[in-house]
Amino acid sequence: MKTVRILFPLIKFIDTKISPDIITVNLPFQNEARGGRLFKSDFHDPKLQQGNTFSFKSPSDILLKFNEIKDLNRKQKTPIIFKPSLNDSMLREYIKNPGNLTANNCQLYRNNLTIYYDGSLTPCDISYSFTNIRELDYKISSAYAHKKFKDFQSHMSKYNKACEGCVFSNQVLKQQNSN
């Protein structure tokens, strides 16, 4: 709650002293598959499939703060948006139970690869090291033809725990994404 409380003076400061086009509030998540520290070469490794394990200690207090931020948004100059991009009722659902939502067939991994200090290559910022840039003779375009990348791709349209909590995706309730 201490962290949430400092949000208000921070937002006020940004609004009055910096005046950016927009202020974004990212809701927290905890997903080992997206921590950027744990690299696994098997996409089905349990560590990559834990999903979003984050929970708020006191969801009812956070819901009150959420309403206060919405209220602030109506009063101040700089618009405030939340991420993931969800409507208010889904944001409330997320606050109550973050693990109840999952990414809906996100395609952004097609445009984003991450290369790490040791040459490991991962799709998007998912900690799945499917190859190393050295194995590809430094030709990054070969990554998309790699068998492990293609296998990974076949899992992305299905229920996908590695992307749970990602603020860039359209998150949906798990029940809507279970087939």
Min CB(49)–ligand SF4 separation in Å: 13
Min CB(107)–ligand SF4 separation in Å: 7
Q: Which residues bind ligand SF4 (CB under 6 A)?
A: 34, 103, 106, 108-109, 124-126, 163, 166, 168-169
Length of the chain: 179
User: Rounded to an integer, what distance in angstroms lies between the CA atom of residue 103 and that of residue 158?
Assistant: 9
Q: Which amino acid belongs to residue 22? A: I
Residue 14 or 168: which CB sits closer to ligand SF4?
168
CA-to-CA dists, residue 54 to 4, 26, 98, 166, angstroms: 16, 13, 6, 12
Min CB(65)–ligand SF4 separation in Å: 25
Residue 34 or 40: which CB sits closer to ligand SF4?
34
Residue 29 or 66: which CB sits closer to ligand SF4?
29
Residue 11 or 124: which CB sits closer to ligand SF4?
124
Helix (H, G, I), strand (E, B) or coil at 12: helix
Helix (H, G, I), strand (E, B) or coil at 147: helix
Min CB(124)–ligand SF4 separation in Å: 3
Going by the DSSP 8-state scheme, the letter that residue 140 receives in this structure is G
Helix (H, G, I), strand (E, B) or coil at 172: strand
Going by the DSSP 8-state scheme, the letter that residue 28 receives in this structure is P
Min CB(168)–ligand SF4 separation in Å: 4
Which H/E stretch holds residue 57? none
Residue 11 or 163: which CB sits closer to ligand SF4?
163
